[in-house]
Chain A
Amino acid sequence: MSAEATAARNLETFSATTAKLKDEIERVIVGQKSIVEGVLTCLLARSHVLLEGVPGLGKTLLVRTLAEVLGLGFSRIQFTPDLMPADILGTTVVLDREDGKKSFVFEKGPIFAPIVLADEINRATPKTQSALLEAMQEHRVTLGNVTHELGEPYFVLATQNPLEMEGTYPLPEAQLDRFFFKLRVPFPSEDELLAILDRTTFSASERARAVVGREEVLELQRIVREIPVPAHVKRYVVALLRATHPELPGATPAVKRFVATGASPRGAQALILAAKIRALFGGRIVATEADVKDVAHAALRHRVLLNFEGEAEGTTTDVIVSELLERVGTPA
């Protein structure tokens, strides 16, 4: 089979599989298409997502549904201030063996599930939050001298409530940077709300079926990485990323004034991968600048840190990113 035929088959596979995924999720989740696409984008990019929204918008339902349609295990961790890292990662316990002897056995924590929902992650202490770092980045957990692989796919969905700031611990920059996207879950529209009522106020709520297996997810992730990106799109992403740094020449006026730290290279990676996936979702093969622009807010809003003046002025990172998209063009 020629390379082009293989590529065509891969694209066909991607299109069919993601269509199945979306359809099945939509059977359970009303509306929130952009959020569903964003979550799937993060999954296919082999990364993680941070969802921000008020309680009751279906964040947990989305995660559970995703786990169901993927036929993967799912665990939920409710982050609280007294949550300890061991509560997440697991701990070594003394186990009485049948021969009467005792031995230490590592009891895996909830983080070992392929899909993890870290609910209200900002309520845990930074120490506990940091316990997720290695798992999210390396897909493994090191306890003592033993490293435990988490397996593939591994997908963390974290949520945080933007309203309750008291008693919360903002995520450290390093932690934030490990999230591929930060998605703001919008309040449902009127029609969506009506549909939610219809689906959730009857005795038999709809449950999703497993339509995609683990191997298929890994195949989708491989296809995404395989597709090339045109040079001008890469140049645009680089220009965009550099423009988030106030100390660099391409910085926009708003960045220079309100931004303390720009996005890391992970931001550029996120932009490229997300643009590719968005193009594929749209039935196209090659990502464009428009795709980059569509995913820029989700990929950069948590990677750009405002300075004191920005915080004081009430500026949001979304405003900063919007200005970047407006001012930064493709370098020749």
Chain B
Amino acid sequence: MKSELGIDGTAENAFLTEATVAASRVARRLGIRRVARALAAVVPPAVLALVPLTVAGLLWPVSRGGFVAVGVFGVVVAFVTIRAFRTREDLVAAGNALDHAGDGADRVQFALECRARLARGETLDPYFSLELARLGREPRIFAVERAAPLAPTPEVLRAGGLALCLVLLAFLRFPEPEDPVRAPRRVAPREAGALLGGSELELANAGAAELGTRMRSEAGRELAADFGALARDLGQPGLDAAEAFRRIAELEAELEARSLEGAILEAGWAARGADFEKARALRDAGRHLSGHRPEDAAGALDRLAERLESGAPELTKAELDELREELARERGPIPLQTEAERAAASARSRAERERSRLLQKKQEEGALGAEDAADLARAERELERLDRRTRKSASAALSEIDRRLLEAARELREEQKKAAGDSIEEAAREFRESAERVLSDREKEEMIERLRQMKELLRRQRESGATEAERAFEKRARGLSPEAGEGAGEAGEGEPGDEGGEGEEGEGTPETLTMPVPVPGSSRARAGSGEEGEAAPGSGPEPGRAHDPHVRGDEATRLDRGPAASEAAVAQDTGDGATASETIRTAAESGFVRPSYQKLFHEYRSVAEEVLSSEKIPPGHKSHVERYFQLIRPRTSVRKSEGETKTP
């Protein structure tokens, strides 16, 4: 039977086929080797050529030289690879390699020639036919792997190593040297449109994280999660200040609601504890509940349930009767007059007032603006939320406990001790769950403090211009030079820590000091009077307490009136209009203006407090005013009144 090539013998056909297949395989492998050789030839010079770019990228990362080098290198490699693959390895060369790897009999090349001739329709020479038949009879082993081994040669390995070095070099980055002047702050920059950024945002997030770790109860953790979400949102664009303050207010309301809920629960526990103490079997649980320790009470109830189920030690009949009676006791609503309830009522009242105002406005004007409508909707939502919270949470939890206890009482009546034990266990579990809903005082305080800090942060961020002025002023208030910074005001006049005794009389030209911002210490001390200090005159952290003898006023104008005349207020000629400033003549007088300043400070502060309490001022602005007065407060009065030992 003849094959498609016109060969008669099966063995010859098989030989031709096998030889062709083997040659094809070798051709493919030779193609791979050719690619590897081509790459091995082109990679080293390419790497050397691209090294300058890579080094440039290494030294100046912003130039991206390394990445460009890797890109160019990749293009070169791809080009060489494609070109090498497109050059087809012919079968004759593959057959030659195969024959050379074999025993030198040139079987494959001969087979390929015969096949080619037959494919062209030629007739094989009789001697070729005989040889073909002979080869068909012989065992055939084609050493494909030996003919075209794919093991990497040293050149290929070297090229691969160089390429790897180039890539690693391109991606290598040295840590940037710390530049004390130009090094950027290691804080995330504020995102465009975000309320907080940089250190403020980090502070907010850190506070949220710390809050999360300190919250033990489930309610506390929920609040902390909301707080954390708010802190994160402050760093994102799209949240304006009004919305941020509204969310803070919501959190405050939520805290109040939780507090109220906790108060209700605690009152409920106390009421049930008083009842439980009447039954011997429930006495332990009752004591714990009265002491607001629901988890311990739950443990006592668990032990009671176990006694009921196991019967060891068995409850006496009297104990069982007491137990049934107390478990079945009807419990009415709990009167609450706690602080939390009052706070919740206050919040509710505020929300209702706001709602009423807006509704009235609507009735008067016929329509509300978009902002008012939003406020109205918000107020209504707040009311609903408070109602829902106070109505549902606490009472529902207590009701569930009572239901379990009643169930247990019924089961005891039916002598189903095991079922009663299960119900008591359920009641214990409810106690535990309700305990999770109560914020501890510490958690409440923590939450309040964090909210206050958050508001302060927002205010500072929003009023950054004012804040800068405030900081500068704070430095001056602490006896520092705002220009020189903290380090410049090291000496000052007077001894640090001294509470400021009476200064000695000084000499000098009478001088007026316009004091829109009255500051003890620095300005006055520089003005001239004071005891000679150990250091050079200047500004210091503490108020001065003496005059500088080197600075003296003019003889003619000197006021030498003694300590009694050391303070005076001279009206400034301000024309007809009102003035907001007061001129104090002090410099040439002996002593400091502290008594006068203290008086002035308290006057201003009392007025400010009165206005703050009477007028409707946003809480943030109130805090700002308070902060202002805190910064300018007279140190001695603070120490005396607050017993401080160190000025902040």
Question: Could you tell me which A residues sit within 8 Å of B by CB distance?
Answer: 2-4, 6-8, 11, 226-228, 230-233, 284-286, 288-290, 329-330, 332
Contacts and interface: CB of A to CB of B under 8 A. Distances in A.
Contacts of A226: 127
Contacts of B104: 288-290
A332 B127 CA distance: 24
Interface stretch (B74-82, B129-137, B272-280, B304-312): B129-137
Contact of B113 (A3, A7, A232, A284): A232
Contacts of A7: 126-127, 129-130
Given A289-B99, A330-B96, A332-B93, A232 B127 contact: no
Given A3-B126, A332-B93, 5 more contacts: A7-B126, A11-B127, A232-B110, A288-B99, A332-B92
A255 B215 CA distance: 93
A284 B92 contact: no
B92 A232 contact: yes
B96 A232 contact: yes
A285 B113 contact: no
B256 to A, nearest CB: 92
B96 to A, nearest CB: 5
A226 B110 CA distance: 18
Contacts of A3: 126
Given A289-B99, A290-B104, A332-B92, A8 B110 contact: no
Q: Which 7 A-B pairs have the closest CB atoms?
A: A290-B104, A7-B126, A288-B106, A3-B126, A332-B93, A285-B131, A4-B126
Contacts of B99: 288-289
B314 interface: no
5 contacts: A4-B129, A230-B109, A286-B127, A330-B93, A332-B90
A230 B128 CA distance: 9
Given A230-B106, A289-B104, A11 B96 contact: no
Given A226-B127, A227-B127, A232-B113, A288 B92 contact: no
Contacts of B469: none
Contacts of A232: 92, 95-96, 106, 109-110, 113
Nearest to B123: A3
Residue from B95, B113, B127 with most neighbouring chain A CB atoms (10 Å): B127
B125 interface: yes
B105 interface: yes
A237 to B, nearest CB: 13
Contacts of B110: 230, 232, 286, 288
Nearest to A332: B93
Contacts of A230: 106, 109-110, 113
A231 B127 CA distance: 14
A330 B93 CA distance: 8
Contacts of A330: 92-93, 96, 109
Given A332-B90, A332-B93, A228 B130 contact: no
Given A230-B113, A232-B92, A232-B96, A285 B105 contact: no
B362 to A, nearest CB: 97
> How would you classify the secondary structure of chain B's contact residues: helix, strand, loop or mixed?
helix
A229 to B, nearest CB: 10
Contacts of A228: 125, 127-128
Contacts of B128: 228, 285-286
Contacts of A286: 106, 110, 127-128, 131
Contacts of B126: 2-4, 6-7
Instruction: Categorize the interface residue count of chain B.
Output: 20 to 34
Nearest to A288: B106
B580 to A, nearest CB: 103
A282 to B, nearest CB: 10
A286 B132 CA distance: 10
A4 B130 contact: yes
Contacts of B93: 330, 332
Contacts of A6: 126
Contacts of A289: 99, 104, 106
A285 B96 contact: no
A2 B124 CA distance: 13
Contacts of B129: 4, 7
A332 B113 CA distance: 12
Contact of A285 (B95, B109, B127): B127
A67 B134 CA distance: 35
A321 to B, nearest CB: 18
A245 B631 CA distance: 104
Nearest to B90: A332
A296 to B, nearest CB: 14
Contact of B134 (A285, A329, A332): A285
Contacts of B134: 284-285
Interface in B68-105: 90, 92-93, 95-96, 99, 104-105
Nearest to B89: A332
Contacts of B92: 232, 330, 332
A7 B96 CA distance: 27
A233 B127 CA distance: 15
Contacts of B130: 4, 7-8, 11, 285
Residue from B92, B96, B109, B126 with most neighbouring chain A CB atoms (10 Å): B126
A224 to B, nearest CB: 11
A290 B105 CA distance: 7
A89 B6 CA distance: 56
Nearest to A289: B106
Nearest to A282: B105
Contacts of A288: 99, 104-106, 110
B12 to A, nearest CB: 12
A295 to B, nearest CB: 14
A289 B105 CA distance: 8
A222 to B, nearest CB: 13
A29 B478 CA distance: 126
B96 A290 contact: no
A231 B116 CA distance: 11
A8 B127 CA distance: 8
A227 B99 CA distance: 21
A233 to B, nearest CB: 7
Given A232-B109, A289-B106, A329 B96 contact: yes
Nearest to B135: A286
Nearest to B95: A232
A293 to B, nearest CB: 9
Nearest to B133: A4
Residue from A226, A286, A332 with most neighbouring chain B CB atoms (10 Å): A286
Contacts of B106: 230, 232-233, 286, 288-290
A233 B95 CA distance: 13
Interface in B101-121: 104-106, 109-110, 113
B429 to A, nearest CB: 87
A3 B127 CA distance: 9
B140 to A, nearest CB: 16
Contacts of B95: 232
A299 to B, nearest CB: 18
Contacts of B105: 284, 288, 290
Contacts of B90: 332
A76 to B, nearest CB: 38
Contacts of A227: 127
Contacts of A2: 126
